Amino acid sequence: MHGMHSAVRTMVPTPRALEIQAEVGDLDRRVRSVFAPVSMPDPADLDRTFTILSSDMLIAAVGPDLLRRLATEAPAVRGPLTARADPVRRPAA
């Protein structure tokens, strides 16, 4: 056996489990660090260009506030807001 074995209602590690315990712990820490969430970037440090394609109604509703907020919080983020009558392409019937 390589893992645990039962000893009267208690789990006791096998000699092999004790032998690899440190290595498995290290692997566990490394795997967790690979899959850990990446920290969010600071908007003030972003230098990006985006194109936002949306309906004219949505752009009218959120565009001015979005542009004002970007100018304040992320001054190097640029991007046109492009309105289309029908921004979602629908498959032909």
Secondary structure, 3-state, 62-89: HHHHHHHHHHHHCCCCECCEEEECCCCC
pLDDT over 90 at 47, yes or no: yes
Instruction: Indicate the DSSP class of residue 43.
Output: G
The span from the CA of 76 to the CA of 43, in Å, is 9
pLDDT over 60 at 28, yes or no: yes
Mean pLDDT of 34-52: 89
For the chain, state the CA radius of gyration.
27
The pLDDT tens digits for 10-25 are 889 999 999 999 999 9
The pLDDT tens digits for 65-76 are 999 999 999 999
Question: What pLDDT shows up at residue 76?
Answer: 94
Mean pLDDT of 57-62: 89
